[in-house]
Amino acid sequence: MFKQIVTVLALVLAGNFAVADLTIEINKGKDDPVPIAIVPFGWQPGVAVAEDIASIVEMDLHRSGQFAPLSRGDMLGRPRNASEVYYRDWKSLGVDYVVVGTLTQPMPGTLMANYELLDVNTQRVVLTGSESVSSEKPRYLAHTVSDKIYEKLTNIRGAFRTQLLYVSAVREGGNRTRFRLLKSDIDGANESVLFDSREPIMAPTWSPDGKKIAYVSFESSRPAIYMQDLLTGVRKQLTAFRGLNSSPAFSPDGTKMAMVLSKDGSPDVYVMDLASGSLEQVTNHFAIDTEPAWLPDGKSLIFTSDRGGKPQIYKVQLGSGAVERITFIGDYNARARVLADGLGLVLVHRSNGNFHIAVQDLKRNRVEILTSTNLDESPSVAPNASMLLYATQYDGKGVLAAVSIDGGVKYRLPSRFGDVREPAWSPFLQ
């Protein structure tokens, strides 16, 4: 039975986890990235900044694969605003765009970045911005600037201010392992522990407003679904049924949660009203129905089922209960996630005996394989649908990796100290 096999595999891999400390290794970018220069920001006298804002912006844009930042060592000057820019110097370096800026402290405890994006070829300012944050959040300020520049040049909303959830564990001697649910920026910085336990933690997921998370914990010796408030840290146990309690997924409006329960026999998909705790059974089949995900309209779900003999993706209408199969290419498709426009799926697809991440166009019924590593699993899509995150193996270790939705950009986020698994990309955050 494929779900039991997947669950056992996840737990075995979890036993080899270690404390996470994510780093970025870019291994594939676009063939024609846009040349851009991010000049180190000037600063107001007396302003002390704990982070190099321009360097973070540079890495954000580089990691997107869309841009090729100029090395600081090759810069011919360090202008702080548009009036100090000599366009001919940057044109001679083959740069298309230049970003300049200044950091100020308009009031105690506040850090402000005033920045400009300049088009070298037309010699004009194409974006002017001013962003301020608490002095304790310089990286958030940098990611905000990155978002604005990225959106201006690509017409796609930037997602550098979003965050990641993932699971790790550390051996404490003997057979004891401490599991941790971690949250970080998408570049691995600002990592924090949200929950730790001596029992496995699985399937973390975000609420649509980014204020709550849900996950499966085995702390009571059997799986149970918990919801946790990120601001207060308060946890609420949602399920404690006999058998499986797994695969939580918030509805698009955040009022309901899809989940998988086997309390009445084989695993089926249920929907819980989070205010009342009432349950509605959505599927009822002797096969394994699991891994639900909501369609954007909140009126239907997709899920994985082996009711046809092998794992495939099905769609169920919540009102009528009508079920239809939607994947037919390949003998294994699972863990599907719906793209924001509802027109495509990202899923785990088996090809030539290997598990890869693929995207399926629902209109054309066409599948494109995005990854080439082995045992790729747990895809999670960025809120702007430009990238997706997944778990894979590299040099014998479990790592997180990212790939663009067209397969043209790839990078890894390996842990320096061990394996990580179960990634979940947040929605847009305020």
35-53 pLDDT per residue, tens: 999 999 998 887 778 899 9
Say whether 177 sits in a helix, a strand or coil. strand
What pLDDT is stored for residue 18 in this prediction? 38
Q: Report the range of poorest mean pLDDT among 41-50, 153-162, 355-364.
A: 41-50
Over 90: is that where the pLDDT of 21 sits?
A: no
Over 70: is that where the pLDDT of 278 sits?
A: yes
Over 80: is that where the pLDDT of 93 sits?
A: yes
pLDDT band at 30, cuts 50/70/90?
low
Instruction: Please report, for residues 213, 236, 335, 400, 420, the alpha-carbon distance to residue 232 in angstroms, rounded to integers and kept in the order given.
Output: 12, 12, 31, 28, 25
**Biggest CA-to-CA distance, the chain:** 73
What pLDDT is stored for residue 22 in this prediction? 64
Q: How far apart are CA 131 and CA 42, in angstroms?
A: 15
Q: How far apart are CA 380 and CA 291, in angstroms?
A: 13
Over 90: is that where the pLDDT of 374 sits?
A: no
pLDDT band at 1, cuts 50/70/90?
very low
Over 70: is that where the pLDDT of 15 sits?
A: no
**Percent above pLDDT 70 for the chain:** 92
What integer is the mean pLDDT of 161-166?
Answer: 96
By C-alpha distance, which of 406, 402, 408 is closest to 423? Answer: 402
pLDDT band at 209, cuts 50/70/90?
very high
What pLDDT is stored for residue 29 in this prediction? 58
- State the residue for tokens 């940057």: 90
**Percent above pLDDT 90 for the chain:** 70
Over 90: is that where the pLDDT of 78 sits?
A: yes
What pLDDT is stored for residue 38 in this prediction? 98
What pLDDT is stored for residue 375 in this prediction? 84
What pLDDT is stored for residue 238 in this prediction? 97
By C-alpha distance, which of 332, 327, 383, 330 is closest to 360? Answer: 327
More confident residue, 333 or 365: 333
More confident residue, 169 or 411: 411
What pLDDT is stored for residue 23 in this prediction? 61
Q: How far apart are CA 317 and CA 297, in angstroms?
A: 11
Count the Cβ atoms, other than its own, within 10 Å of residue 101: 25
By C-alpha distance, which of 130, 103, 121 is closest to 44? Answer: 103
What pLDDT is stored for residue 177 in this prediction? 80
Report DSSP state, residue 248: E
What integer is the mean pLDDT of 17-30?
Answer: 54
What integer is the mean pLDDT of 279-302?
Answer: 95
What pLDDT is stored for residue 207 in this prediction? 98
Q: CB neighbours of 406 closer than 8 A, spacing ≥ 6?
A: none
More confident residue, 327 or 396: 327
Q: How far apart are CA 73 and CA 183, in angstroms?
A: 34
Q: Report the range of poorest mean pLDDT among 69-78, 257-266, 290-299, 358-367.
A: 358-367
- Arithmetic mean of pLDDT over the chain: 89
Q: CB neighbours of 425 closer than 8 A, spacing ≥ 6?
A: 162, 164, 186, 206, 380, 381, 382, 383, 388, 389
Q: How far apart are CA 423 and CA 275, in angstroms?
A: 27
- Both tokens of 373, joined, read 């590593």
Quick check: 406 and 375 in contact, CB under 8 A?
no
What integer is the mean pLDDT of 337-359?
Answer: 89
Residue type, 254: G
Strand 67-69 to 34-38 pairing: parallel
What integer is the mean pLDDT of 318-340?
Answer: 93
What pLDDT is stored for residue 11 in this prediction? 37
pLDDT band at 176, cuts 50/70/90?
confident
Q: Report the range of poorest mean pLDDT among 108-112, 358-362, 413-417.
A: 413-417
What integer is the mean pLDDT of 64-77?
Answer: 94
Query: pLDDT tens across 385-416, in order?
Result: 999 999 988 877 778 999 988 888 888 886 76
pLDDT band at 24, cuts 50/70/90?
low
What pLDDT is stored for residue 9 in this prediction? 33
Q: Report the range of poorest mean pLDDT among 113-122, 150-159, 323-332, 372-381.
A: 372-381
Q: How far apart are CA 423 and CA 247, in angstroms?
A: 13
pLDDT band at 10, cuts 50/70/90?
very low
Instruction: Tell me the residue ranges of DSSP E strands in 306-386.
Output: 312-317, 323-325, 333-338, 344-351, 354-361, 366-369, 377-381
Render 267-306 in DSSP notation, one character per residue: -EEEEEETTT--EEE----SS-EEEEEE-TTSSEEEEEE-
* pTM of the complete model: 0.89
Q: How far apart are CA 201 and CA 217, in angstroms?
A: 5
Quick check: 27 and 412 in contact, CB under 8 A?
yes
What pLDDT is stored for residue 193 in this prediction? 92
Render 134-171 in DSSP notation, one character per residue: ETT-HHHHHHHHHHHHHHHHHSS---TT-EEEEEEEEE
